[in-house]
Chain A
Amino acid sequence: MSALEENGHASLVRDALRLHRTFSWRRYWIDLLGFLAAWLLVSGFIGFYCWMAQWGK
């Protein structure tokens, strides 16, 4: 196990079949935080679009 992998650079995709053994926040925090942030952005886009659909009422 490499030092970088131990500190957040491990890949959720690569480790998908062994996550039950390897999962920890510390190992996957870059994947998890970025993935979560991207979903928040998706929610933000949809929220903004719904808000925009109310303009002019």
Chain B
Amino acid sequence: MKQAHLQIADWAVLLCYLGGITAFGVLVSRRVRDTSGFFLGNRRFGKAVMIAQAMGTGTHSDQAVGVAGAAYTMGLAGIWYQWMWLFTTPFYWLLAPVYRRLRVVTLSDFFELRFGRPYATAYALFAIYILALWQGIAIKGTTVTVSAITGIPEWRIAVVVASVFAIYGISGGLVAAATTDFVQGFFIVFLSFLVLPFGLVQVGGFHGLRAHLDPAFFHVFSSAGGELAPFTVLMLVVSGLVGITVQPHMMAVASSGKTEWNCRVGWTFGNFIKRLCTVGWTLTGVVAAVLYPGLGGAGRERAFGVAVTNLLPAGLVGLMVASLLATVMASCSAFMVDGAALFTRNVYRPYISQNRPDSHYLRVGRCASFAITLLGFVLGVAMPSVVSATVHFVTILPFVGVAFWVGIVWTGANRYGAWASSIGSAVLFFTCQARGISTPWASLYSLAFGFTSIVMVSLATPREPQTRLDRVFHFLDTPVGEEGRLLSSGFHWETEE
């Protein structure tokens, strides 16, 4: 196998990409003059930007590396590590208008309206931590792969990546993050399929693959075995569908479009493009299984990087590295802006400094962006043991998702039910796990408890005030384009179209 090193052509491609994306991001930042523009792009995005934003924010290079690694050992069935989310994708079509009609900036804004400030603040603090953690994990995952390909120390790559997306993200907020995603999206597609033609030529096409590999490698379903048993996949899909609604960046991904149609198309089809890219990651892993069979089960996640360094000619390695960096910058810039929105709107403004001009909160948002990126950088690079120790806390997202779903469909849900559901189901989940119950069963018990408890406790305690319910449900019942009805009913909101 080749030793990893970049040629002059690779450096040229890489520097052009980094310089170009920074300049482009800063250029579009000139359109940002207030917090609405910074946090939600003034809700003016068209379909193309919404598709790119959904794809860019949701795609990380570690997913490509993971799927290629799984395919390296189990064949085509390895795709299900990502394709289990295929079954949640159609629901994005139904959910996008719900987010758009709420006409709030963050999910914490929604929780404050629906279940009061304490629940909203708890969610905001937890979400800020998750976003910083995800930044750290994305930076760490990508720098490990890029370092293996290029030989450049991980910390140097991390500094460059964080600096680039911080420069355009802090100046342009979501406008810069989403607009650059439009460019980064092409790089993500390159990343997915660039190695394949070179690999397939070397192995002699699909006939060559079949000649070298066990027939079980070409089974689409059966080879996954116990790792991806049907009940496990079912529970991952169900808890994923409940939990994805409260992922902190979803408000931006699903509601920053100009129209409900843009939001639906962007969120749904951006994710479908990602599912298509997954096919390329899987085939890359299968090709690597033929060409580099000695990596072993433990080293399977090196398959993608090994294929890149050995198969791509000079210049294209640089393009591949640029594509890997694109995935992390697309995700992290969005996480940075979303975290800043949560801090500024749901922590700083209510608790630290109220009734200040919008320009003040814009400055705070920019400072918070920098701080959250710094926190993510520290979590990802300096304290990997902390990351691995706390990453499982992300698994409690579905238990907050229960409150979102029930809070949207049932006017009777109240704050007491929301607290009981979220805390009770999370405690039950971790208790089950401590007693050795498998994750799918623990998820099932916890979700069942969560849905039951929010209903029972809400029925036994006072309803939320009617004015609070009107703010949420009148808005949900008013499609985008009929804001006149809300205004004539005396409602006002911060991001009036």
Residues of A that sit less than 8 Å from B by CB: 2-5, 9, 11-14, 16-17, 31, 34-35, 38-39, 41-42, 45-46, 49-50, 52-57
Interface 1/0s, chain B 43-70, versus A by CB < 8 A? 0000000000000000000000000000
Determine whether the beta carbon of B205 is less than 8 Å from that of A14. Answer: no
Q: How far, in angstroms, from A12 to B129 measured CA to CA in the complex?
A: 33
Q: Does B338 contact A (CB under 8 A)?
A: no
Q: Does B249 contact A (CB under 8 A)?
A: no
List the one stretch of B88-96, B134-142, B291-299 in contact with chain A.
Answer: B88-96
Determine whether the beta carbon of B210 is less than 8 Å from that of A45. Answer: no
A-B contact pairs, 10 of them (CB 8 A): A11-B101, A12-B94, A14-B477, A42-B87, A46-B220, A49-B279, A52-B279, A53-B218, A56-B206, A56-B210
Count chain B CB atoms within 10 A of each CB in A50, A52, A54 and give the residue with the most.
A52
Determine whether the beta carbon of A34 is less than 8 Å from that of B93. Answer: yes
Determine whether the beta carbon of A11 is less than 8 Å from that of B94. Answer: yes
Determine whether the beta carbon of A2 is less than 8 Å from that of B485. Answer: yes
Q: Does B352 contact A (CB under 8 A)?
A: no
Q: Does B453 contact A (CB under 8 A)?
A: no
List the one stretch of B268-276, B367-375, B444-452 in contact with chain A.
Answer: B268-276
Q: Does B479 contact A (CB under 8 A)?
A: yes
Given contacts A13-B94, A13-B98, A13-B408, contact A41 B476 (CB under 8 A): no
Determine whether the beta carbon of A9 is less than 8 Å from that of B409. Answer: no
Q: How far, in angstroms, from A39 to B87 measured CA to CA in the complex?
A: 8
Determine whether the beta carbon of A11 is less than 8 Å from that of B97. Answer: yes
Given contacts A9-B260, A56-B205, A56-B210, contact A35 B98 (CB under 8 A): no
Contacts of B260 in A (CB 8 A): 9
Q: Does B482 contact A (CB under 8 A)?
A: yes
Closest 8 CB pairs of A and B: A56-B206, A38-B90, A55-B206, A4-B479, A34-B93, A9-B479, A56-B207, A56-B210
For B215, the closest partner residue in chain A by CB is: A57
Q: Does B107 contact A (CB under 8 A)?
A: no
Q: How far, in angstroms, from A57 to B479 measured CA to CA in the complex?
A: 52
For B481, the closest partner residue in chain A by CB is: A4
Determine whether the beta carbon of B479 is less than 8 Å from that of A5. Answer: yes
Given contacts A13-B408, A14-B409, contact A53 B219 (CB under 8 A): yes
Q: How far, in angstroms, from A17 to B28 measured CA to CA in the complex?
A: 44
A13 to chain B, nearest CB (A): 5
Given contacts A42-B89, A52-B279, contact A17 B220 (CB under 8 A): no
Q: How far, in angstroms, from A43 to B334 measured CA to CA in the complex?
A: 31
Determine whether the beta carbon of B477 is less than 8 Å from that of A53. Answer: no
Chain A's interface: helix, strand, loop or mixed, by majority?
helix
Contacts of A35 in B (CB 8 A): 90-91, 93-94
Contacts of B206 in A (CB 8 A): 55-56
Determine whether the beta carbon of A11 is less than 8 Å from that of B90. Answer: no
Partner of A53, one of B76, B91, B95: B76
17 extra interchain contacts, Cβ-Cβ under 8 A, other than A2-B478, A34-B268? Answer: A2-B479, A9-B97, A13-B95, A14-B98, A14-B408, A17-B410, A35-B91, A38-B90, A42-B87, A42-B89, A45-B275, A46-B86, A46-B220, A49-B220, A52-B279, A56-B206, A56-B210
Contacts of A42 in B (CB 8 A): 86-87, 89-90
Contacts of A53 in B (CB 8 A): 76, 218-220
Determine whether the beta carbon of B482 is less than 8 Å from that of A2. Answer: yes
CB neighbors of A among B290-337 (8 A): none
Q: Does B345 contact A (CB under 8 A)?
A: no
Contacts of B279 in A (CB 8 A): 49, 52
Determine whether the beta carbon of A31 is less than 8 Å from that of B79. Answer: no
Contacts of B220 in A (CB 8 A): 46, 49-50, 53
Determine whether the beta carbon of A38 is less than 8 Å from that of B268. Answer: yes
Q: How far, in angstroms, from A30 to B460 measured CA to CA in the complex?
A: 37
Q: Does B132 contact A (CB under 8 A)?
A: no
Determine whether the beta carbon of A38 is less than 8 Å from that of B93. Answer: yes
For A52, the closest partner residue in chain B by CB is: B279
Partner of B477, one of A5, A34, A52, A56: A5
Contacts of A12 in B (CB 8 A): 94
Q: How far, in angstroms, from A35 to B206 measured CA to CA in the complex?
A: 35
Determine whether the beta carbon of B264 is less than 8 Å from that of A34. Answer: yes
Q: Does B127 contact A (CB under 8 A)?
A: no
For B90, the closest partner residue in chain A by CB is: A38
Determine whether the beta carbon of A41 is less than 8 Å from that of B95. Answer: no
Contacts of B409 in A (CB 8 A): 13-14, 16-17
Contacts of A9 in B (CB 8 A): 97, 260, 479
Determine whether the beta carbon of A14 is less than 8 Å from that of B264. Answer: no
Partner of A41, one of B219, B264, B272, B478: B272
For B265, the closest partner residue in chain A by CB is: A34
Q: How far, in angstroms, from A11 to B414 measured CA to CA in the complex?
A: 22
Q: Does B130 contact A (CB under 8 A)?
A: no
Contacts of B420 in A (CB 8 A): none
CB neighbors of A among B240-276 (8 A): 260, 264, 268, 272, 275-276
Contacts of A49 in B (CB 8 A): 76, 79, 220, 279
Determine whether the beta carbon of B98 is less than 8 Å from that of A11. Answer: yes
